[in-house]
Structure 1
Amino acid sequence: MKVLKWWWGILLAFLLLGAARIFLPLPFANEIIIFSIYTMGCNFLLGRVGFISFGQPAYLAVGAYATAFYLYYFGTNPYIGILLGIGVGLVVSAIVGAFFVRLRSDYFALVNLALAVIIFYLMEKVLAKITHGDNGLWFLANMSSTPVLNLGKPGDFFIFIFLVAMALWAFYKYLDDSLFGACCLGTKINEDKLRFLGYSNYSIRWMAFIIANTTTALAGSLYAVYFGFVSPAITHPARAADPVVVTILGGVGTLYGPIVGSIAYTGMKDLLSGFIANWELFIGLLLVFIMLAGEKGIWGTLDPYLKKAFYRKGTVPK
């Protein structure tokens, strides 16, 4: 039965991501999947560990600029650039997380926001000679063709990020069902009891922080390769709340929340911005409604009804 749940979950994630390609223009579908990967880390931190982070743009920029520097100054293979972005993101997350996870959730949110501001200032002003400041780094023409999937082609790139998103979904599904996932939830709900059982709250939070923000750095690398361009705007503090908004919109702590939230947020942004200048106001009102309705988000609201519709009585998964 457990294997069946896994396959149903993978099939549903496959259909959600596949629908983005079938019913939406290719550039829009690529943007949605990158955004959903970007949100996965924030969703894990907020839903499992109870940490709200307004510093995700900082880790997004770490991955994006690591990839951009390689492709602009050193090499041409986008796959190597992506791996480099993941590696740098992992190292930065491990170093920063060693200090940040000692803080309580409110201070944690603020110190991460401060990090995003610092990274933005570094990329825009201090390191302007190598980042080219607001003009950014353009390297699309530098990327070489790659075998099997040529990431320079939007169609091949979609297949690649589709597979990456599916792998990440399966990974987070595994984490949720694992002892580590239970410990993450334990440190959110009752850290004293977890400590009594012999687990280190600090180590659990640190590992969760590394996993979440390495995922965010991966999203930054994918962003860089897809657009062939990176500028300090990627880490602008004004966009610090975006992944948090998408997480709440999709459903905090739900596996499908990042996908559903990304589709809803990106769709509303592109649709409303053509008619309403201050489209963020509509998103804000929608979030207020969701919070007042029970904080479940879109997927959290639909989930019970979908379970009743697709599972026989007595076989509904927990």
Structure 2
Amino acid sequence: MQKLQKIIRQLFESKIEIHVLFIIFFLVSFFLPPLINNLPVDKIIHVVAYALFLLVCIYIGRWCSRRWLLQNKFSRLLFFMPVSLAVLSFTGIIGLKILTSNNVLSMTITALFFVFLFFFLGFFLSVTRNTVLRQINEAENLQQQKEMELELLRSQLSPHFLFNTLNNLYGLSITQHQKIPGLLLKLSDLLRYSVYESKESFVSLKNEVAYIETYIELEKIRIGEKLSYEANIYKENIESNQIAPLLLMVFVENAFKHSKNTYGQTIDIRIDLSLMNDTLYFTVRNQYIDGANKIKDFKKTGIGISTTLKRLELLYPQKYVLDTKKVNGYYEVKLQLNLK
């Protein structure tokens, strides 16, 4: 799409080249028929001369459009357009009288037809060109704005996971320092993905799932037997689909973060992921505190969630359904996402 926009822009913005090609094509189209029909040289010259006159009609119409219509000078346009058409019509009638021997009425109607046709052809070509260029500019500006916003969101997201993980490591280094070596190995895998893969607009769904599984392994080491974890991840066809990096990970990390604050002896988390007809079905379920410290509104829970919601709107407009609900002490997030 961007390549097509670039080609169209170059075509419409090339001034001298496009005009030279148009004039040559226009004159040749008038010159060839009389030449093929073996008309006398003087007639061919008259036809080409009239073709030049019609070119003048086109460019005067174009000039009126650019000079007054596109600059919203309607009063001047209403004055100069009739004047231009009157002068061109008179000139066209005189020129056609030289070329043909038709009666005056027929010749006048023909001349007026050609003058008005080619004048407004130039007029509307100018309007169309301006409209197309404006639409291309708007599309390019929107695309640049979208890319800048996505880049900003990605730059916020990677440090977000790093800071959260380092905070967890700091706590464990004091209470359970023997777990640190295993956690560091898992952390290196996570950082490799979040630093390098997250720079891409889209990554393999297989890699995103592998990243989630690595993160969960890290949490298993950190939490230990207190973690009650169940996963139903169907990996069929995930290699052939792509997804925005760290999109699903945010919901998993958010579930672990809020489950840690529960009063129970175990941290209960369930993750379901399946793919059907290029549509991803992703569910994360975790305990939450129903009381004074209950979980905040989903859309107001930290930078990770807020950036993910913005990314969904930018990358998958009208292609996703996100539902949240609280049932019997559990908080559930369901994401249905069209990956195509």
TM-score, with normalisation over the residues of structure 2? 0.25
Q: Which has the higher contact order (CA 8 A, sep 6+)?
A: 1
TM-score, length of structure 1 as denominator length: 0.26
Highest Rg: 1 or 2? 2
The structure with the greater share of residues assigned to strand is 2
